[in-house]
Structure 1
């Protein structure tokens, strides 16, 4: 059954309906044999991505999810049975803004009387590291919002986002061209460090669908998403195979990564704390603090894509040509 407007099926409110995660959630629900109504939120419902989602049967609501727009935000959730909530730190890079907006979304869902909230979280870095890594705000803000959501009394599930496979071709400066014309996957971690890599756009929504289709909404559940757990050096090896170019893994320092990150427009303070601080944590404790992703993948509606399967769909000639 595709997404429907039938009143007898649950209405799922989806934040960021035209973003990577929201699109993935809507895609997964549209593939389900069960019926869903979906209300998608976007700042601009005239853009192509919003129109594409609307064609799937989604009710699109144009709204800016900021605290200054609180009254309209509350109204936008009215009638929802479930809510998928996500915040985007990298859009504004303000910890205070993210925290206040995340709490507002929980409050709005609560006021609407939803039966359950599904939150897009990240690993609790400060907790896992026992206070050693304290400045990774883009992760620990998500943890604070999750704690706020659990304290609200609404059944609450935290689906933590794994390492985006698309980081290799997008915003993060992870691939570099070498002086000899070859390429390197550059990260400040050991070659044997395991990445819980996930094709977010195709597979993250499967976890949300899994939760919604459980016989009882699993209050308190945490899921750790990945399509495949793979080492850094194995990713480089598979990139060599797929691109038919020599790609090696190169371990760099956190200082080098911070410099590279700041070079793409990230403020130096954010690059140091949110980015380099996370890599230090990742290198020592593991992305999920040593927690396995295997049980989280159990019960998905279909098998998630491997890193190689993701890589085969990337236009590498164009991506590599753009590297300096």
Structure 2
């Protein structure tokens, strides 16, 4: 159904609505048979996604969610019944900034008196590994925001997205190794089951579930996962979808890091990404109290094979 303007319907404020997760949240609410008013936050209302959502009845608020823009952020949150918040570490690579902006959104939601705040967080790799891998800054900053949100008094749920299937077209792009053959090189064991999600298509399903439960799941952490699948099986299924020769090869974390350094990636980000893969490979992606289930979702999320079949892979095989 389309978004309603009826003032009796809950108003959901969505941060990052023109991005993968926020956009998925808006689309999941549009798909619902329940009425919602939707307020999207964007820095550029001319973006195609912003225009798509406003054409369907969403209210667009142009705002930059930064600590030096606190007054405008608080004003943007006013009147919201629920908030979905997300940060974009990849944009600036600064965990301290990400933490500050995440906490700002918690404070703004609290000031607005919301009934529920849904936060796109991640587990602490340092805690999962018993301190062995302390340098995954963007996981640690998100985990600290989760702690802050839980202590704030705002009804708060943390929904942690698995690895994005769309990474196949970016940092996880296979390397051409022959006339019609490709190999994906990653520092993960070939048979290690990895959590994946088609974030653009499916992440919002968990957010919608949280908003539509009889009681808001305050204090919980959920995993948004479409499938657990090994890198080896990912490449096998990609070969089935594309008809191309696809293989997987495990490389050392140091070799992976060297490749990132050669591409000009800043050293602190190289270290963070390196420890993500080594930490997750040894200790897993989610903490033991994170609830992993697809039960109660409005529809089934895509598997890896379904996701890559729907993906534009022209850049992968260019």
> Match of 2:83, SS?
strand
Q: State yes or no: 1:56 paired with 2:56.
A: yes
Query: In terms of mean alpha carbon deviation, does 185-194 or 254-263 score higher?
Result: 254-263
Q: State yes or no: 1:305 paired with 2:308.
A: no
Q: State yes or no: 1:280 paired with 2:261.
A: no
Q: Name the CA distance, whole Å, in 1 between partners of 2:251 and 2:278.
A: 12
Please tell me whether the aligned partners of residues 194 and 286 of structure 1 are also in contact (alpha carbons under 8 angstroms): no
**What is the match of residue 245 of structure 1?**
244
Q: Name the CA distance, whole Å, in 2 between partners of 1:261 and 1:287.
A: 22
**What is the match of residue 70 of structure 2?**
70
Q: Name the CA distance, whole Å, in 2 between partners of 1:312 and 1:152.
A: 42
Return the offset for 1:47.
2.2
Give ranges in structure 2 of 5+ residues lacking alignment: none
**What is the match of residue 220 of structure 1?**
219
Q: RMSD across aligned C-alpha pairs, in angstroms? A: 1.6
| CA shift in 2, pair 1:289/1:71, >3 Å | closer
Return the offset for 1:197.
1.1
Q: Name the CA distance, whole Å, in 2 between partners of 1:123 and 1:308.
A: 26
Query: In terms of mean alpha carbon deviation, does 248-257 or 110-119 score higher?
Result: 248-257
**What is the match of residue 186 of structure 2?**
187
**What is the match of residue 96 of structure 1?**
96
Deviation string 1:151-185 (CA, Å, 9 cap, x unpaired) is: 10111100001010000112x14421125652112
Please tell me whether the aligned partners of residues 180 and 244 of structure 2 are also in contact (alpha carbons under 8 angstroms): no
Q: Name the CA distance, whole Å, in 1 between partners of 2:38 and 2:262.
A: 39
Q: Name the CA distance, whole Å, in 1 between partners of 2:138 and 2:263.
A: 18
Q: TM-score, normalised by structure 2?
A: 0.96
Return the offset for 1:317.
4.1
Q: Name the CA distance, whole Å, in 2 between partners of 1:72 and 1:209.
A: 27
**What is the match of residue 19 of structure 2?**
19
| CA shift in 2, pair 1:88/1:34, >3 Å | same
Give ranges in structure 1 of 5+ residues lacking alignment: none
Return the offset for 1:315.
3.0
Return the offset for 1:290.
6.9
Q: Name the CA distance, whole Å, in 2 between partners of 1:263 and 1:21.
A: 30
Q: TM-score, normalised by structure 1?
A: 0.94
> Match of 2:206, SS?
helix
Please tell me whether the aligned partners of residues 203 and 224 of structure 2 are also in contact (alpha carbons under 8 angstroms): yes
Return the offset for 1:312.
0.8
**What is the match of residue 137 of structure 1?**
137
Q: Name the CA distance, whole Å, in 2 between partners of 1:21 and 1:264.
A: 27
Q: Name the CA distance, whole Å, in 2 between partners of 1:262 and 1:59.
A: 42
Q: State yes or no: 1:200 paired with 2:199.
A: yes
Q: Name the CA distance, whole Å, in 2 between partners of 1:185 and 1:260.
A: 13
| CA shift in 2, pair 1:40/1:24, >3 Å | same
How many residue pairs get matched? 318
